[in-house]
Amino acid sequence: MTNLPPLILASQSPRRKELLGKLGIPYTVIIQDTEEEHHERLEPQELCYVNALAKAQAIADKHPDSTVIGADTLVFLGQTPLGKPKDQNDAKAMLRSLSGKAHNVCTAVAIISPTQTIKITEITQVFFKTLSDDLIDQYMSLVNVMDKAGSYACQEHGEMIIEKMLGDFDNVVGFPTEKVAEHLTALGYLVK
């Protein structure tokens, strides 16, 4: 199909840029600050999707002839969402709270094209090893945890803290690449 709408990624995340780049579709990055919701009364998938949609909609409103992708990732310990840490102490507290437990990582993606809005939500279960304070300090010395939901990155020294995962690895990184590729293909984009 020719004359497809230009593709815009409404995220400055280097991880999302890299994963979308693997699909081989030319795109540009345009971001706008949006207020993120943090309502614990919303189900994990719904909370993530509300935030992903807000990010995409803010750009789609200004670029109605484009296809815009917005995404949001949160770590959930039970029903409690863990976003990015406020400071180093908050990051340590988050890692301590995840130690020896299973938790869910939810990523939602909103794709707004000129003809439709597509909702994608994906959950991956992650099992953490039991973490000593020394191991947490060592991990934090190797990884910039401050811009990561839940204060960790599975793709950066994840073997130090993660015992196993059930589900999509890319989803934990912040972008369920396979599902996004399926929907973009359905919209007519040529995915590698």
Active site residues per annotation: 72
**What does DSSP assign to residue 37?**
P
Element (H, E) at 75: strand 67-77
Which residues, 6+ apart, have CB-to-CB distance to 3 below 8 Å? none
Q: Residue 117 corresponds to which tokens in the numbers above?
A: 């809005």
Task: List helix spans (H) across the chain.
Answer: 14-21, 44-60, 88-98, 133-142, 169-173, 177-186
The whole-angstrom separation of Cα 152 and Cα 139 is 9
Q: Residue 87 corresponds to which tokens in the numbers above?
A: 């400071």
Q: Return the ∠ at Cα 46 (arms to 168 and 102), rounded to 5°.
A: 45
